[in-house]
Structure 1
Amino acid sequence: MNKFTKKLFLPIGILFLLVGFVAFQIKNDKLFSIAKNIDIFATLIRELDSYYVDEIDPDKLVQVGIEAMLEELDPYTEYIPEEDSEDFRTLTTGEYAGVGALIGNRGGGNMVLMPYTGFPAQNAGLKIADYIIKVDSVDVSKSATSAVSDLLKGPANTPVEVTVVRDKDTLSFELIRKKISLKNVPFYGKLDDKTGYIKLADFTTNAAAEVRNAIVDLKSQGVGGLILDLRDNPGGLVNEAVEIVNLFIPKGKEVVKTIGKIQNVNYTYKTTKSPLDKDIPLVILINERSASASEIVAGALQDYDRAVLVGQKSFGKGLVQTTIPLTYNAQAKITTAKYYIPSGRCIQAIDYAKSRENGALTTVPDSLRKSFTTSNGRVVIDGAGIEPDEKAEEKSYAPISYTLVTGNHIFDFATQYFYAHPSIESPRNFQISEQDYESFKEFLKGKEYDYTTYTEKSLQDFEKYVEKEVYFDEIKDQLALIKSKVNHSKENDLNTHQDEVKRLISEEIVSRYFFQEGMIESGLVGDDGVKVAIAYLANPNKMAQVLAKRN
């Protein structure tokens, strides 16, 4: 080692020592800060328990404190106490032991909203709109929905007696609880001779296997193109998303990578199998409620120019959560990384670090969004969800329709219709008649379903604004005249929007006979997104143009 090297080596060595010392000191400072604040928190709880004027529940108080702390971070970082671990497992796996029915409160008590096909509730004969008044010997007529749900759940192969009120009759059913595995694909089928449709509602265990089975079955029926519907799908297991992408693209392709603060959360997910079909034309439907794993599937297949995306911009959740075990069988679901799809883009829309600084939800500004390219060189942008290749408007409903649904009038009429008609046509072909619609209008007489039209709302807002102006007295008479002219007539709205209301009634009636599967199939009639998707699959040249490089 020459003198020059020795002289150079000494300062560099000292520099490394200083950097190491500073890093060590910073880490020590942080550890001390954590220990200090934990000690303060524990001391405070003990003093509250000793001195507070009323008795406190330490478990509840600490849980409130933990949840308030986590709310400062993001909506996905959660504390899961031991007593909630079973519910959390159900959310992530889609499995639980119970009777297989969705229940809820419709104002008059808890009722069956949907018995799932093939499970104990449906097999035993429970119907939609059955009011649950007793579970075994427990009166639940005034219980919270969660309490009734807990009573219905239990170990598989154990009996439970459910007593319900149906119309004016009180009926009891003996059920045997079973392991319930909710379907990720609640419906699939042919829309025409060549078009297959798959509704993917979740990404719990076996999602990819269910999609694979649906594709195999549809292809055996002769379909030449597929629609994969990811609308309203909140996401779930990343590995299921990767396997679904693998159904359509070759082995060895990157699907998504996760990048976080610590090395063991950094991972690149690649396809590991030969694809089921890498050539079949594919359209994916997305909307603003398609999130997380849905966005991985849609975004990866867009990045590889493998599918045309139709609908609305997706939710924009590009954060990864990891479940960490805590003491006393508690768990924490912690945001540990962001995910990046093959083009390199992250689709996370909300900047939670900036949101904490600003005190309000902060999105990534357009000026900071970056451009990336797909395999064919099409430009895609990060930072705000997945943009569809072609927009298709979602169904929008008139105020009267919202009111009739939320007021349970359509629900109650469908129940009445079901008990008066032993059978109906297939879900796709059923539509209530004009006579049925007149019966619905008669059914509404004497029932409360008031609402505010868009025009009335605009006038109300305008009136509040001009009340502060000096000229209000001069125009208030004219304003009153305008209001009287636009004051809506419920009967006119029932006629004006009858096609829309009839469609909603028909879908609700179909659910009574064909359950969840039938309701989904019925809802496809008149679906604008589905219409656009079918048009693409019928026009290979149009699909090729969309997926080609844009100049």
Structure 2
Amino acid sequence: MNIKRWGVITAVAIGSVALLSAFKQTDKYFEIAKNMELFSAVYKEVNLLYVDEVNPSQTMTTGIDAMLESLDPYTNYIPEDKIEDFRTQMTGQYGGIGAVIGERKDKIIILMPYEGFPAQKAGLQIGDEILSVDGIVTTSKNSGDVSKLLRGQADTPLKIKVKRFNTPEPLEFTLVRQKIKISNVPYFGMVNTNTGYIKLSDFTQAASIEVKKALTDLKAKGATQIIFDLRGNPGGLLNEAVNISNIFIPKDKLVVSTKGKVSEWNTKYITELVPDDLNIPIAVLVSGRSASASEIVAGVIQDYDRGVIIGQRSYGKGLVQTTRELPYNSQIKVTTAKYYTPSGRCIQAIDYAHRAADGSVSKFADSLHVAFKTTNGRTVYDGGGVTPDITVVQDSISPILVALVSKSLLFDYATEYRSKHESIGDARTFNLSDRDYQDFVTWLKDKDYSYTTKVEKTLDEMTKQSKQEKYFDAMKDQLDQMKKVIAKDKENDLIKFQSQIMEYLEEEIASRYYLQKGIIESSFDSDKDIQSALEVLNNKTKYNSILSGK
């Protein structure tokens, strides 16, 4: 075949492909236009003819939310009235009094004042029940409504009336709102004479600056090794994950790359600064609720063999979101790419692209996970979060502890304890005695903390099934006997799970005196992840062996 003939055939083939592509693109645009017209027609007819009055904005928001929900949980529509909340989430800033509030037994309660902000400075305490804000009675409102009353422009005054345990008359406080910047690092301190501890709870603006400061201060206090706690951290700003990684790894190193359908989202993020410390031993703590940016940092530390990862497998969110402005001051947060750690792995755990017929999604099968190599040649895998180098198995939470927490009984007892004890000494060394615990057990006698164990639920299901299958008459005596045995044994649960309940109660009480700092410091001795981190950091042979892969 001559070159001229081959060129003609090739041109025809290319033209056919281009034409086919154009047809497909045209079909796609037609489908979009058709469905937009259908959606508009349905929306119009419902608003015009539906038997009851329809709120147009609410109906449209519901429709948009349902559409985006079919994609993934992170692609969200943000209407104008929610923009301020979204900005607070991204920046960690708002105008208010600096306190977390919540509902306890149909009451609006101060759950945690932030240290150094108006609520704490004015003397509001954990457990105070909010009765009114600027004369507006709050007893019939939910926590969201009360939160809106507390927030406002910085430098504006407000009055709060509260009821405090063991105080006969309501207390009134006058506060001045200020710009609240929630710290990304709610706590850093020394666990022992040479081990520093940094808790990072978010990746909002300036997170890397806060981590740098914490590291510098801890080293000045004698820290020669660091526990970096990312447990429960849901993530946040990608650039902050890059900057925090840069604290511990060299300049000009790949931190993360993103790949999406649109080429502009295909980006490589490289460290640009001189690191703060390349050598200090690090133990990074992760949990099943460590996600997104926290997984990037943990993945970077692991891929470069810079530190040991300890805890439980992380959540597995390897998706990147971008915020785009929409008409009428609304926005959309849309998933635009997947991210990949330096070794090349994507740690996304759930496959949203392939849904079952019922709309459900599942995790990527273990058989589909691909192996990658760290700098030192250790094997790591994609498709399921960051797997720790040392997995720590946590004790299961007993049903009785769940009941005591959910019914706010530990919360209430800690508040009452605070009213009777002026101080508890240092949170690290605070421990309840057996006599203290017996006082708590006595206090519980007239309280309702009923609960159903898994064994009881199984027994109830057996009873139900035996009746359906006509075995109940033959099994009735045995079932009744088992119920009696379980009921009798449950009477001992307060003793059987004493150590677990006491640990939680000690942290709750410590918070009444030292707020967030008290909860963290009180847990140092009982926290299995922290104890595992100390064990490996103090054993340099084991630490180096893990990182070398030997």
Same fold (TM over 0.5): yes
Contact persistence 1:102–1:113 (CA under 8 A):
yes
Contact persistence 2:133–2:159 (CA under 8 A):
yes
- Does 1:217 pair with 2:217? yes
Alpha-carbon distance between aligned partners in 1 of 2:273 and 2:179, rounded to the nearest angstrom? 30
- Does 1:423 pair with 2:405? no
Partner of 2:405: 405
Moved more, 187-196 or 474-483: 474-483
Partner-residue secondary structure (3-state), 1:228: strand
Alpha-carbon distance between aligned partners in 1 of 2:324 and 2:218, rounded to the nearest angstrom? 40
Shift of 1:366: 1.6
- Does 1:499 pair with 2:499? yes
Shift of 1:532: 0.7
- The residue correspondences of 1:270-285 to structure 2 (distance < 5 A) are 270-285=270-285
Partner of 1:57: 55
Shift of 1:517: 1.6
- Decide whether aligned partners of structure 1 residues 358 and 253 sit closer, same or farther in structure 2, where only a CA change above 3 A counts: farther
Partner of 2:328: 328
Shift of 1:474: 3.1
Shift of 1:270: 0.9
Partner-residue secondary structure (3-state), 1:197: strand
Shift of 1:397: 2.2
Contact persistence 2:256–2:296 (CA under 8 A):
yes
Alpha-carbon distance between aligned partners in 2 of 1:88 and 1:217, rounded to the nearest angstrom? 32
Moved more, 13-22 or 207-216: 13-22
Partner-residue secondary structure (3-state), 1:114: strand
Alpha-carbon distance between aligned partners in 2 of 1:356 and 1:241, rounded to the nearest angstrom? 34
Partner of 1:444: 444
Partner of 1:290: 290
Q: State the Cα deviation string for residues 460-481 of structure 1 (Å, max 9, x = none).
A: 3444444455654333323322
- The residue correspondences of 1:171-210 to structure 2 (distance < 5 A) are 171-210=171-210
- The residue correspondences of 1:449-464 to structure 2 (distance < 5 A) are 449-464=449-464
Contact persistence 1:249–1:278 (CA under 8 A):
yes
Size of the aligned set, in residue pairs, is 548
Alpha-carbon distance between aligned partners in 1 of 2:470 and 2:132, rounded to the nearest angstrom? 63
Partner of 2:303: 303
Q: State the Cα deviation string for residues 287-340 of structure 1 (Å, max 9, x = none).
A: 111110111011111011111111111101001111011111110000111001
Alpha-carbon distance between aligned partners in 1 of 2:282 and 2:466, rounded to the nearest angstrom? 53
Q: State the Cα deviation string for residues 82-138 of structure 1 (Å, max 9, x = none).
A: 110000011111111111000000013111110100001111111111111111121
- Does 1:11 pair with 2:5? no
Moved more, 311-320 or 30-39: 30-39
Shift of 1:249: 0.8
Alpha-carbon distance between aligned partners in 1 of 2:268 and 2:34, rounded to the nearest angstrom? 38
Alpha-carbon distance between aligned partners in 1 of 2:152 and 2:37, rounded to the nearest angstrom? 40
Partner of 2:226: 226
Partner-residue secondary structure (3-state), 2:363: coil
One of 73, 76, 82 as aligned partner of 1:75: 73
Shift of 1:8: 2.1
Alpha-carbon distance between aligned partners in 2 of 1:56 and 1:470, rounded to the nearest angstrom? 51
Q: State the Cα deviation string for residues 150-200 of structure 1 (Å, max 9, x = none).
A: 111111111111111113321111111111111111111111111111111
Alpha-carbon distance between aligned partners in 1 of 2:72 and 2:496, rounded to the nearest angstrom? 44
One of 35, 39, 42 as aligned partner of 1:41: 39
Alpha-carbon distance between aligned partners in 2 of 1:300 and 1:234, rounded to the nearest angstrom? 17
Alpha-carbon distance between aligned partners in 1 of 2:447 and 2:318, rounded to the nearest angstrom? 46
Partner-residue secondary structure (3-state), 2:297: helix
Contact persistence 1:343–1:372 (CA under 8 A):
yes
TM-score by structure 1 length? 0.96
- Decide whether aligned partners of structure 1 residues 302 and 131 sit closer, same or farther in structure 2, where only a CA change above 3 A counts: same
Alpha-carbon distance between aligned partners in 1 of 2:266 and 2:545, rounded to the nearest angstrom? 36
Moved more, 520-529 or 306-315: 520-529
Q: State the Cα deviation string for residues 22-44 of structure 1 (Å, max 9, x = none).
A: 22222222222212222222222
Shift of 1:47: 2.5
Contact persistence 1:456–1:487 (CA under 8 A):
no
Contact persistence 1:395–1:527 (CA under 8 A):
no
Partner of 1:101: 99
Unaligned runs of 5+ in 1: none
Partner of 1:359: 359
Partner-residue secondary structure (3-state), 2:479: helix
Shift of 1:489: 5.0
Contact persistence 2:503–2:526 (CA under 8 A):
no
Partner of 1:121: 119
Shift of 1:380: 0.8
Aligned partner of 1:210: which letter? E
Moved more, 467-476 or 502-511: 467-476
Alpha-carbon distance between aligned partners in 1 of 2:200 and 2:245, rounded to the nearest angstrom? 13
Alpha-carbon distance between aligned partners in 2 of 1:47 and 1:480, rounded to the nearest angstrom? 59
TM-score by structure 2 length? 0.96
Partner of 1:514: 514
Shift of 1:435: 2.8
Partner-residue secondary structure (3-state), 1:284: strand
Alpha-carbon distance between aligned partners in 2 of 1:434 and 1:369, rounded to the nearest angstrom? 50
Q: Percent identity?
A: 47
Alpha-carbon distance between aligned partners in 1 of 2:162 and 2:245, rounded to the nearest angstrom? 45
Q: State the Cα deviation string for residues 359-403 of structure 1 (Å, max 9, x = none).
A: 222111122111111111111111111111111122432211111
Alpha-carbon distance between aligned partners in 1 of 2:282 and 2:205, rounded to the nearest angstrom? 23
Aligned partner of 1:224: which letter? T
One of 137, 140, 145 as aligned partner of 1:139: 137
Partner of 2:484: 484
Partner of 1:348: 348
Alpha-carbon distance between aligned partners in 2 of 1:350 and 1:452, rounded to the nearest angstrom? 32
Partner of 1:372: 372
- Decide whether aligned partners of structure 1 residues 263 and 410 sit closer, same or farther in structure 2, where only a CA change above 3 A counts: same
Alpha-carbon distance between aligned partners in 2 of 1:358 and 1:53, rounded to the nearest angstrom? 30
Contact persistence 1:72–1:356 (CA under 8 A):
no
Alpha-carbon distance between aligned partners in 2 of 1:399 and 1:23, rounded to the nearest angstrom? 60
Partner-residue secondary structure (3-state), 1:428: helix
Contact persistence 1:453–1:488 (CA under 8 A):
no
Partner of 1:166: 164
Moved more, 8-17 or 204-213: 8-17
Aligned partner of 2:254: which letter? E
Alpha-carbon distance between aligned partners in 1 of 2:338 and 2:467, rounded to the nearest angstrom? 50
